[in-house]
Amino acid sequence: MRRIIARLFGFSAVLMLLGLAMTQRASAQDCVVPTTLYRFVVSPIISESGHAGDGGYLLTGYYPEGPANNYERDPSVNLGIYFHPNSSSVPDPASGLVPLYRWTVIQDGWRTHYYYSTYYTDQPPDRYFNGIAGYVFPPWQTTYGPFGNLYALRIWYSSDYGFWYGWGRNDFPIYEQPPSVASDKDPFHDQGIIAQMPAPIYDYWFPPPGDPPFGSGWRVCFQPPGGGGGGGNPPDCNPPSSTLNACQHNGGWWNYEGCYCEY
């Protein structure tokens, strides 16, 4: 069991890092636009009424991760996510973007699903940290500048089926609903909005003709944590917690004297 978990965790983490590296090669610069967030069905279920549903989703901007796990893509979602151009950079603080962390959850020794949060906190022992899935907007932010409404990502939980994620428009607050389940199973319980998502502007895995629209108002530029000072003795080094978390969970440690992330 430990070997299976280790392989699963390692594989997911490597795929996420490869996805970020592929994005870097695709954009070839430090400014990015939202790319497609894919939703894959983890474990199909059939409700008591015969309604076809599912027992959870994998949300990822790295398309090959779904087929590699034999998950079927659900094409009904139309959300975007920001990938950093390289694993040591963070978004411009003025953008308001925050990390979307991901954990693999293995319950009862066999059931696998995924947990996402914009907060990095201590988790139960059955949750295995995968890293930063990408960058999104915090739950309370419903628009991005003059460029339009964001999409709310909502989370539900069932003790029998795990976490389920649906989305809705903030200007038309009707959300996807999780499937109904058999009467002897725990239904999905609404746990609220966990993040706000942009619409996808580009798809790095299935790119349309032409270059990515980096002139778009959705463009966000990334930089080394803390501005990447790299030396000197700044009078005040008080980076936001998101910057410190990004540094730590990308394998670095924060140099307060130089006010940058060291690797």
Q: How far is CA 42 from CA 3, 57, 65, 95, in A?
A: 21, 5, 12, 32
Strands 127-136 and 98-107: antiparallel
Of residues 187 and 170, the one with the higher pLDDT is 187
Q: What is the pTM of this model?
A: 0.74
> Residue 228's pLDDT band (boundaries 50, 70, 90)?
very low
> Residue 161's pLDDT band (boundaries 50, 70, 90)?
confident
Of residues 219 and 147, the one with the higher pLDDT is 219
47: enclosing H helix or E strand? none
What's the mean pLDDT in 214-240? Answer: 62
Q: Are 178 and 171 in contact (CB under 8 A)?
A: no
Neighbouring C-beta atoms of residue 98, cutoff 10 Å: 23
pLDDT at 76: 80
pLDDT at 250: 61
> Residue 223's pLDDT band (boundaries 50, 70, 90)?
confident
pLDDT at 181: 78
Q: What is the pLDDT of residues 73-101, one digit of tens each?
A: 888 878 999 987 666 688 888 889 999 99
Lowest mean pLDDT among 108-112, 118-122, 156-160: 108-112
- d(CA 233, CA 248) in angstroms, rounded, equals 21
What's the mean pLDDT in 101-120? Answer: 84
Q: What is the pLDDT of residues 31-52, one digit of tens each?
A: 889 999 999 988 766 544 444 4
pLDDT at 28: 40
Of residues 59 and 1, the one with the higher pLDDT is 59
What's the mean pLDDT in 209-220? Answer: 80
Strands (E), 25-178: 31-32, 35-41, 44-46, 52-54, 57-60, 72-73, 79-81, 90-91, 98-107, 111-117, 127-136, 151-158, 162-169, 172-175
Residue 196 has pLDDT above 90, yes or no: yes
- d(CA 84, CA 133) in angstroms, rounded, equals 10
In this structure, the chain runs to a length of 263
